Amino acid sequence: MNKMKLEFYSKLENEAFARTSVVAFLMPLDLPMEDVMEIKTILAEAVVNAMIHGYENVQDGIILLEVSYDEHYIYIHVKDDGCGIDDIQKAMEPMYTSKEYLERSGMGMTIMQTFADEFHIHSEAGKGCDLQIKKKIRHGNQTEQ
């Protein structure tokens, strides 16, 4: 098992830092480009959700990002202590956003769920959000079996 842990402020410029750090950490796995792009998308959605929806653009909120892998899976954990999600079922609907005025195209929950082998979200209003994702490792040009 190998593991990395990042803690950073909820400033939008830190989203690219989080994605780039994770991709660099996963380089020894020799993942297919498609999987790298899916992981980058998962991270972008999860981190930006914490920033925009969780902390409602408060730039000193803390986001915790942990990524680990073993022989078979990559584990992604994103946690914030923001305002939480009142209705997870509603948040899981495609194109749903709690910030319509920002012209956003949804919270991306269904996208993250589609790219993950396992997708778990726990949240309570006022208590933040805890997102855990598990993704099977495919090496290089390996195809799904």
Q: Which residues participate in catalysis according to the annotation?
A: 45, 49, 104
Dist. CA 5–CA 32, nearest whole Å? 23
3-state secondary structure 28-84: HHCCCHHHHHHHHHHHHHHHHHHHHHHCCCCCCCEEEEEEEECCCEEEEEEEECCCC
Single-letter amino acid code for the residue at 115: F
SS3 142: coil
SS3 138: coil
Planar angle of CA 74, 75, 76, nearest 5 degrees:
120
Residue from 45, 49, 43, 58 nearest 6 by CA: 43
